Amino acid sequence: MTAAAPDVALCRVLLFTPGNRPDRFAKAAATGADGLILDLEDAVSAAGKDEARSILVEHFRAGHRSGLAAGQACGIRVNNIHTAAGVRDLDALVTSGVAPDFVLLPKVESSFEVRLYARLLPHVPLVCTLESARGLEQATAIANADPRVRALAFGGVDLAADLRAELAWEPLLWGRGRLVQAAATGGIAAIDVPSVVIDDEAGLKADAARAKAMGYTAKLAIHPKQVAPIVEVFTPTTAELERARGIIAAIEAAGGNVVEYQGKMVDGPVVKAARELLARAGRGS
């Protein structure tokens, strides 16, 4: 019996790797990233997309999980369905019958796009990237379009260009918040935009910590050296785990009634947050 694929919604970091560079696939897995995204979109030139698509179909047909660590998920970022390359990507996935652990949809702007993928690939979890003003406008509908949607990802680079805004925290803060709110309506994960700065570990950690404080559950990475700092930030600390267990124990001892714990009142929403933290801790604790 084949084991179930890891849940992409529990990933702390997802690392992009060009889909036309099979020599890098094992190296990407060795970084310890929870999720690997083999890319057919931005990382591959227009002239190279057909070759990259063939490489990935064969990679998943050959049994991609043999090269992964336990709990490591591996998926594909396809091209947008409104492009010729995107249509060919979807056709290849359907006709080949391969089953990546998830498919990341770029530049999603409607629930129709999501339902199309969900209907044709009914057993493949989806991650939807919001990268435009239109996408943010439809964020809630996209998050709730189908149960196969496991996460929303914040495409801040493209969004900044679409809005004619600076790629910085303050100009995009409202957009980050909008995505978290939409993800929460669907009870799904929220994944933050990758940092385009490669050699600034302190800045990356600070960026990830701010995203985590907003409600993001993971962050994208574009370079292997970004993986470890992001994992560190999104892994619950010992103190956080102990507090979550203490909250649950206290509320259970009180028969589900409101109770005081460490000087603060604990009720349903606090307990829910504690249970969610413990659910995510399986990867890093």
Average pLDDT over residues 106-135: 97
Judged against a pLDDT cut of 80, whether residue 3 lies above it is answered with no
- Same domain, yes or no: 248 and 169: no
Judged against a pLDDT cut of 60, whether residue 223 lies above it is answered with yes
Average pLDDT over residues 38-67: 95
Strands 259-261 and 264-266 turn out to be antiparallel
Instruction: Show which of 217, 234, 251 is a domain's final residue.
Output: 234
Task: Please indicate, yes or no, if residue 112 is contained in any of the structural domains.
Answer: yes
Domains contained in the chain, number: 2
Task: Please indicate, yes or no, if residue 2 is contained in any of the structural domains.
Answer: no
CATH number of the domain within which 122 lies: 3.20.20.60
- Same domain, yes or no: 224 and 184: yes
Average pLDDT, the chain: 92
Judged against a pLDDT cut of 80, whether residue 158 lies above it is answered with yes
Q: What is the pLDDT of residue 88?
A: 98
**pLDDT interval class at 110 (50, 70, 90):** very high
Q: What is the pLDDT of residue 272?
A: 80
Instruction: Show which of 214, 234, 254 is a domain's final residue.
Output: 234
Q: What is the pLDDT of residue 283?
A: 52
Judged against a pLDDT cut of 60, whether residue 284 lies above it is answered with no
Task: Please indicate, yes or no, if residue 88 is contained in any of the structural domains.
Answer: yes
- Same domain, yes or no: 84 and 26: yes
Task: Please indicate, yes or no, if residue 212 is contained in any of the structural domains.
Answer: yes
Task: Please indicate, yes or no, if residue 285 is contained in any of the structural domains.
Answer: no
What interhelical angle do 84-96 and 49-61 show, nearest 10?
A: 20
- Same domain, yes or no: 266 and 154: no
Q: Could you list the residue range(s) of the whole structural domain that residue 246 is in?
A: 238-280
Distances (CA, A) of 229 to 163, 207, 210, 261: 29, 11, 14, 32
- Same domain, yes or no: 114 and 93: yes
- Same domain, yes or no: 229 and 265: no
Average pLDDT over residues 131-155: 98
Counting Cβ atoms within 10 Å, is residue 219 exposed (0-12), middle (13-18) or buried (19+)?
A: buried
Task: Please indicate, yes or no, if residue 108 is contained in any of the structural domains.
Answer: yes
- Same domain, yes or no: 175 and 248: no
- Same domain, yes or no: 34 and 164: yes
Q: Which of 94-103, 135-144, 186-195, 272-281 has the lowest mean pLDDT?
A: 272-281
- Same domain, yes or no: 250 and 214: no
Q: What is the pLDDT of residue 275?
A: 81
Q: What is the pLDDT of residue 1?
A: 36
d(CA 74, CA 141): 26
Task: Please indicate, yes or no, if residue 14 is contained in any of the structural domains.
Answer: yes
Average pLDDT over residues 98-103: 96
Q: What is the pLDDT of residue 282?
A: 65
- Same domain, yes or no: 211 and 74: yes
- Same domain, yes or no: 81 and 214: yes
**pLDDT interval class at 285 (50, 70, 90):** very low
d(CA 193, CA 2): 33
- Same domain, yes or no: 152 and 34: yes
Judged against a pLDDT cut of 60, whether residue 72 lies above it is answered with yes
d(CA 210, CA 95): 42
Average pLDDT over residues 186-210: 96
Task: Please indicate, yes or no, if residue 134 is contained in any of the structural domains.
Answer: yes
Please give the radius of gyration of the chain, using alpha carbons only, rounded to the nearest integer.
Answer: 19
